[in-house]
Amino acid sequence: MARKVRIEYPGATYHIISRGNYRKDLFTIGESGRSFEKALFEVAERCEWKLHAYVIMSNHYHLALQIKEPNLVEGMRWLQSTFANRFNRFTGEKGHVFQGRYKSLLIEPERPLLGLVDYIHLNPVRAGIVSLKDLKTYKLSSFPKFFAKQPKSGLFRKDFLSRASLPDTLSGMKHYWERLEVVDEGKAEHREAMANQYCRGWIIAGKAFRKQIVEQYSEEEISESIGKSGKRELREAHWETVLRRLMEEIQKSEVDIKKDKKAAKWKVSIARQMRRQCTASNPWLGERLNMGHASRVSNLINGNI
């Protein structure tokens, strides 16, 4: 079966995560970390990507990137296959280098972008490799490179600095570094919360942006990379969009859902249309339309009651 496409559109921003096969160390062998970094800047130039942040750890990497054109899949294929070929060539190994498909979380390019950049830059601190005051010494990261007067081509600090109300200058970066002290806190529970927020699901965004994406893409375009919870969220959001449209057509409201009988004719009619027009489940319809148990909904739709 062919893989479903990932969500791509001009200007989309992503959190990309990928791990070495079997979670083994991948970027600490010889100059493998530098080799991956070199390939990353090559693909950023080829595809005109904006790198807001990146960090290369021992067995995985994180990227915060923005695409100019819908070329995430094409660029990531080039990046991972090019690095894999180079890695296998200088190690004499064969086979897969990365653990399955990379994960791509869609990012709202407003406040969530700043939090994601913080999370990525703090990875070496959370791993206990360096302290926050020595973070600039961790070379396989965008963090120290943002302290250049003119950051390397492909790197962009202006967007996340502006979201922290800081100027795109060395002074702005120094204040950003100071800000990370507050963000990190050093508490295990806080760090775990950051990981849950920026590495789980399929999207990091507020309700309005989520709604915009849901309305833009059909269920068939949902990527395999978003996981079961993400698929369920998008699927149910599509159902909600269809339901709102159908209710508007017959001028029904949330008040009507609560006050009218479970077997009200208009509810049964909408439930039947929902089943024809989308994949809305009976349990969801029963709860959303206040129609009772899923089996009751099924009997009402089929005319058995």
- Please state the pTM of the whole predicted model: 0.77
Q: What does the pLDDT read at residue 2?
A: 41
* Token pair for 220: 């068939």
Q: What number is the average pLDDT over the span 88-99?
A: 80
Lowest mean pLDDT among 53-62, 179-188, 251-260: 179-188
* 92 dihedral zone (left: phi>0; alpha: psi -120 to 50; beta): left
pLDDT at 205 over 50: yes
Residue 284 has pLDDT above 80, yes or no: yes
Q: Are 183 and 177 in contact (CB under 8 A)?
A: no
Interval 28-54 mean pLDDT: 95
Residue 93 has pLDDT above 80, yes or no: no
Q: What is the mean pLDDT of residues 178-207?
A: 80
Q: Is 240 exposed, middle or buried (0-12, 13-18, 19+ CB in 10 A)?
A: middle
Both structure tokens of 206:
């507020």
- Supply the pLDDT for residue 1: 36
Query: Residue 22 above 60 pLDDT?
Result: no
Which of 6-20, 160-174, 200-214 tops mean pLDDT? 160-174
- Rounded Cα distance, 42 and 290, in Å: 55
Q: Looking at residue 223, what is its pLDDT?
A: 47
- Lowest mean pLDDT across 189-198, 237-246, 286-295: 189-198
Q: Which long-range contacts (CB under 8 A, 24 or more apart) does 77-81 make?
A: 78/43, 78/46, 78/47, 79/39, 79/40, 79/43, 80/18
Is residue 269 within 8 Å of 229, Cβ to Cβ? no
In contact, 76 and 102? CB cutoff 8 Å: yes
pLDDT of 185: 63
**Residue partners of 69: CB distance under 8 A and separation at least 6:** 10, 47, 48
Higher pLDDT, 204 or 166: 166
Read off the pLDDT band of 187 (50, 70, 90). low
Specify the range with the lowest mean pLDDT, choosing from 115-124, 193-202, 224-233, 244-253: 224-233
d(CA 40, CA 2): 27
**Greater model confidence, 139 or 205:** 139
Determine the average pLDDT of the residues in 186-196: 73
Average pLDDT of the chain is: 88
Please name which of 247, 10, 204 lies closest in space to residue 113, comparing C-alpha atoms. 204
Q: Looking at 41-50, 153-162, 186-195, 267-276, which range is the least confident one?
A: 186-195
Q: What are the tens digits of pLDDT across the range 43-90?
A: 999 999 999 999 999 999 999 999 999 999 999 999 999 999 998 888
- pLDDT tens digits, residue range 133-153? 999 999 999 999 999 989 999
Distance CA 242, CA 35 (A): 49
Determine the pLDDT at residue 219: 56
Residue-level pLDDT at 188: 66
Mean pLDDT of 257-265: 94
pLDDT digits (tens, 9 = 90+) for 217-253: 665 555 444 556 567 777 887 888 899 999 999 999 9
